[in-house]
């Protein structure tokens, strides 16, 4: 309905309401009076919707409050949660104080009805984030915590409603308030809850559990970084290792990011042989995901693989190839065989916080099969160009310098230009920015993203990356909700001269190599070579008092 139609609808509703007011209602039967008031409420709520659509917030709120008054005359029950949500959600991010005032004007029953709408089955993320933001910006997080705690008090202990509501409380403590201890203990309690949702919401609950697990792992790793006590570090590392899986015995790629954090701890604490053993297991999981007969797990496997490879000297270029390939179809035949599965796949690892998938499958049936090189020597040379760099170049670098090599050097903020569209094979799935910008999801490399090496599963766009750098330096204030951490390191995607994957062939600049051959060389040659460098390096030794 356009604005003219909305305006005409409001005129009609006003006339109808005046007609009702002109009716003589004294002495009418109680049942008739109830019907009269119900009609008034219906007219008023329809007018509220029309005013909301026209962007007339103040008028909509006034009419809604009148509807609440009339509703109270004929019913002890508040409006349904969806109607309350319409009013709450209309007070957008520019009206944080107004939203809190609206919520404070409601009765306890109204607020609890709205909370039930937000948390009973699936969490209404937009509404929940909106009220958390409003509470933080207005300094009223304690009030919001009081409301949520009171709402949770009488809920059944095994209900999904309680599980979701306690998750919102934990989120306020951390990351909104930055209360590490409370955020950690609450998530440990949530992960230990014996929630019994309806079967249709069981997978949704497990997805939420995975997010709590990743957030808890993030907290533990932060504590690990900050403590100078090696014994304390060992305790934290063991706590991380023992984190329960949200998916029971079923393997979940996203939870492997917790394993990567554990590997980072092992690198510090040791023993080094255990670090290699754990990294070998992570590497094998990634390779298995890329060599199996399904395509839905290729993108999460590539993302984890990028972190694994970037941790070892001489494999940084391979790490950049892995992160750049996350949107690509790696094997056309497998992808087409799995078409039905892909339509319903879970895209976590590509999709952050539940965004919708984008259908960006551009290749058509009947295209050429993957070409193979006829000259083995030529193919090996191509592989060396794409994946190898001089091992000696990296052998003595510190890890921070290595990460800077991934394309994230401190530099002036650039002007973001949309790159030309590439002729490539793209899979279904999308990825969004986990920063504060609200960037729409990407399903191809239309602009750069920065994949954090230390957060469990975080991507930020170019704009949010440079904000993060300025926040770390203290040049600008932290946002209301911190994203990523200070002094983290990133892999920038796509890599320089990336041209995508077509018919199973990686293309970087003028160089090409079949994806399967790149993976074979990585698995059979370069991974072992990287560990040889690891065990023979002496980068911790430096000349002292020796003239240059």
Residue 518 lies in a domain: yes
Residue 360 lies in a domain: yes
Secondary structure letter of residue 442 according to DSSP: B
Secondary structure letter of residue 348 according to DSSP: B
Q: Can you give 239-273 as a three-state secondary structure string?
A: HHHCCCCCCCCCCCHHHHHHHHHHHHHHHHHCCHH
Number of domains the chain contains:
1
Q: Which 3 state secondary structure label does DSSP give 3?
A: helix
Contact 395, 537 (CB under 8 A): yes
499 vs 510: CA distance, rounded Å:
9
Residue 502 lies in a domain: yes
pTM of the predicted model as reported, rounded to 2 decimal places:
0.75
Residue 27 lies in a domain: no
Q: What is the dihedral of CA 205, 206, 207, 211, to 10 degrees?
A: 100
74 vs 80: CA distance, rounded Å:
15
Residue 478 lies in a domain: yes
pLDDT of residue 69: 79
Residue 374 lies in a domain: yes
pLDDT of residue 348: 40
DSSP characters over 78-99: ---HHHHHHHHHHS-GGGHHHH
pLDDT of residue 115: 94
454 vs 468: CA distance, rounded Å:
14
Residue 459 lies in a domain: yes
Q: 532: domain range?
A: 294-536
pLDDT of residue 382: 45
pLDDT of residue 20: 66
What does each of the 548 residues of the chain score in pLDDT, given as a tens digit?
Answer: 566 777 787 878 777 777 766 555 555 555 566 677 777 777 887 887 777 777 777 777 788 888 777 777 666 777 778 778 877 776 554 578 888 988 998 889 989 999 999 999 889 988 898 899 999 999 999 999 999 999 999 899 999 999 999 999 999 999 999 899 999 999 999 999 999 999 999 989 988 998 899 899 999 999 999 999 999 999 999 999 988 765 555 445 556 788 899 999 999 999 999 999 999 999 999 999 999 988 888 999 999 999 999 999 899 999 999 999 999 999 888 888 776 554 444 444 333 333 333 333 333 333 333 333 344 444 444 444 444 444 333 333 333 443 344 444 444 444 444 555 678 888 888 888 888 786 778 888 988 999 999 888 889 999 899 988 988 888 888 888 877 878 889 999 999 999 999 999 999 999 999 999 999 999 999 999 999 999 998 777 788 988 76
pLDDT of residue 255: 60
Secondary structure letter of residue 501 according to DSSP: E
Residue 467 lies in a domain: yes
Tokens standing for residue 389: 């760099």
């Amino acid at each position: 309905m356009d604005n003219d139609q909305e305006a005409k609808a409001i005129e009609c509703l006003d006339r109808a309401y005046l007609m009702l007011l002109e009716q003589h209602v004294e002495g009418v039967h109680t049942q008739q009076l109830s019907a009269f008031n119900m009609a008034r409420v219906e007219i008023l709520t329809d007018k509220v919707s029309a005013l909301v659509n026209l962007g007339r917030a103040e008028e909509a709120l006034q009419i809604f409050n009148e509807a609440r008054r009339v509703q109270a005359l004929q019913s002890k029950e508040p409006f349904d949660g969806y109607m309350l949500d319409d009013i709450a959600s209309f007070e957008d991010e520019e009206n944080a104080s107004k939203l809190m005032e609206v919520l404070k004007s409601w009765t306890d029953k109204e607020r609890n009805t709205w909370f039930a709408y937000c948390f009973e089955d699936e969490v209404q993320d937009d509404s929940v984030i909106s009220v958390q933001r409003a509470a933080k910006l207005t300094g009223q997080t304690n009030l919001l915590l009081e409301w949520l705690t009171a709402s949770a008090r009488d809920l059944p202990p095994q209900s999904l409603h309680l599980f979701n509501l306690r998750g919102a409380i934990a989120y306020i403590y951390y990351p909104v308030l930055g209360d590490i201890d409370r955020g950690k203990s609450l998530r440990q309690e949530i992960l230990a809850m014996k929630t019994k949702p309806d079967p249709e919401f069981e997978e949704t609950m497990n997805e939420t559990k995975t997010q709590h697990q990743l957030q808890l792992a993030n907290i533990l790793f932060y504590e690990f970084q900050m403590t100078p006590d090696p014994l304390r570090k060992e305790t934290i590392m063991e706590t991380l290792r023992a984190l329960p899986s949200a998916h029971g015995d079923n393997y979940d790629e996203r939870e492997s990011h917790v394993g990567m954090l554990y590997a980072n701890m092992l690198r510090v604490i040791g023993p080094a042989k255990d670090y290699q053993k754990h990294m070998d297991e992570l590497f094998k999981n990634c390779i298995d995901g890329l060599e199996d007969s399904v395509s839905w797990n290729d993108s999460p496997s590539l993302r984890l693989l990028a972190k694994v490879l970037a941790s070892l000297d001489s494999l940084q270029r391979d790490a950049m190839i892995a992160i750049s390939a996350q949107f690509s179809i790696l094997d056309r035949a497998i992808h087409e065989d799995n078409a039905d599965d892909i339509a319903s796949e879970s895209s976590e690892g590509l999709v952050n916080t539940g965004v919708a998938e984008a259908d960006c499958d551009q290749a058509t049936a009947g295209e050429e099969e993957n070409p193979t090189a006829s000259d083995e020597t030529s193919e090996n040379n191509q592989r060396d160009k794409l994946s190898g760099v001089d091992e000696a170049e990296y052998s003595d670098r510190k890890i921070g310098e290595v990460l800077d090599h991934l394309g994230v050097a401190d530099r002036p903020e650039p002007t973001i230009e949309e790159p030309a569209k590439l002729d490539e094979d793209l899979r279904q799935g999308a990825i969004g920015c986990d920063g504060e910008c609200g960037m729409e999801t990407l399903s191809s490399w239309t602009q750069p993203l920065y994949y954090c090496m230390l957060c469990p599963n975080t991507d930020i766009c170019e704009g949010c990356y440079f904000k993060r750098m300025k926040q770390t330096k203290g040049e600008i204030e932290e946002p209301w909700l911190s994203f990523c951490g200070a002094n983290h390191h990133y892999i920038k995607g796509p890599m320089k001269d990336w041209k995508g994957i077509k018919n199973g062939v990686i293309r970087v600049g003028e160089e090409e190599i079949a994806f399967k051959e790149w993976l074979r060389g990585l698995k059979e040659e370069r991974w072992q070579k990287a560990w040889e460098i690891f065990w023979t390096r002496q980068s911790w030794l430096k000349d002292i008092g020796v003239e240059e």
